[in-house]
Amino acid sequence: MDELSVMICDDSALMRNLIGRIVDDTEGMSVCGKAENGLDLIEKLKTTKPDVILLDIEMPKMTGIEFLKKRKELRLDVPVVILSSVATEGAAVTMQCIELGASDFITKPGGTSVTLRIGEVTKDIIEYVASYGSAYAIMHGKQIPEPEYYTHQIKLKEAERAVIQKKGEEAAKSASIRSTEAMPTTWFKTKPKEPVVITPEREGGKIEIIAIGISTGGPNALRDVFKAIDPRLKQPILVVQHMPAGFTKEFANSLNNICPLQVSEAVDGEPILNGHVYIAPGSYHMFVERKPLGNFIKLSQDDPRNGHRPSCDVLFESIAKNFQNRALGVIMTGMGRDGAAQIAEMRKKGAWTLGQDQATSIVYGMPKVAFEMGGVQKQVPLREMADEISKLARDHLLA
């Protein structure tokens, strides 16, 4: 197997070293270079071929945004994941980076305790490097494991830490020494499963609402879908994109600039209007409440489901309950299984369902599990997703 090569570009030597350590400590990944700013990065890319770049935004000499503009000129296709500030102004700049071609972003910890808090983003760093780097590496002929191989190592380390904490501080010291010498990284690739056959309780009806669940790879995938969606589409669309608080409003604004339909961050209690796209706010579950006067958005900060808030399962569960066969569910690129169980429930109730196909998913995790559980009627490549959604919505419009 080949290794994933990672380039880190950040003006902070501390951040470069901390992130570099996370990458190098993950079996199957290695840092191929470090750069202090965009100019330095361009020079290093002349002699180094990474599978993914982790890029800071605010840097001297050449910022992350300036690099992304230059990247287009130089026709560099290596995926870029932004290392973003959590600040509100950082969210707007981060979305500008997405518009300029960045694949996704990670919010790095701020403040003076960054060394202690770097563990908060370890999972994100490994997941995003694995997801975007693997897709690029495979496209360029490398033999790379599935992204889950890398994230499985995080789970093993978390489990080990939990055991160590129970043993006590003294045992922890000796155990931590042993763990660095022989960290178990055994990972068993899951075999493809034949999809479960679901017999819907009723035939598909008129589509009153559309629900989309998406995660890793989502920012650019949703841009592709919404810039090509039918401007005459009548049904409302509710979207759960796994994204941290503080960024979803800017993300909705970014989509609104390219989508022929109105796109906004969802607000608790607002009526659901036809032809409108609602993005679930970061850190809030989104679901539908039906009242005599119409359908309304409801938000909650109940516990995360499948490790996520917002959760695709929460939205799909609400749609299955309130609309049964009068809905369209769509599950797209993402790691894990969030949304799979409840889009299968939607299908059981008779709803129409689509899943993104393996070839065009940055991570074929969520749509794969949904397909295996019988929740996907049809698998669709990303380039055809907007047309497929639009056609189903037109053909099954409630008069």
Return d(Cα 399, Cα 385) in angstroms, integer. 24
Return d(Cα 340, Cα 304) in angstroms, integer. 15
Other beta carbons within 10 Å of 256: 16
Contact call for residues 299 and 278 (beta carbons, < 8 A): no
Interhelix angle for 147-167 vs 122-139, to 10°?
Answer: 160
Question: What tokens appear for 365 in the block?
Answer: 């995790």
Contact call for residues 376 and 370 (beta carbons, < 8 A): yes
Longest CA–CA separation in the chain, Å? 70
Contact call for residues 38 and 49 (beta carbons, < 8 A): no
Residue whose C-alpha is closest to residue 132's, from 157, 101, 159? 101
Contact call for residues 325 and 204 (beta carbons, < 8 A): yes
Other beta carbons within 10 Å of 236: 22
- 260 preceded by cis ω (within 30°)? no
Tokens 């975007």 belong to residue: 132
115 Cβ contact list (under 8 Å, min separation 6): 14, 18
Return d(Cα 131, Cα 147) in angstroms, integer. 6
CA angle 148, 150, 243 (to 5 degrees): 70
Give one word for 250, left, alpha or beta, with left for phi > 0 and alpha for psi -120 to 50.
alpha
What Rg, from alpha-carbon coordinates, does the chain have? 22
Contact call for residues 226 and 255 (beta carbons, < 8 A): yes
Contact call for residues 332 and 355 (beta carbons, < 8 A): yes
Active site residues: 215, 242, 338
Tokens 């309304």 belong to residue: 296
Other beta carbons within 10 Å of 309: 22
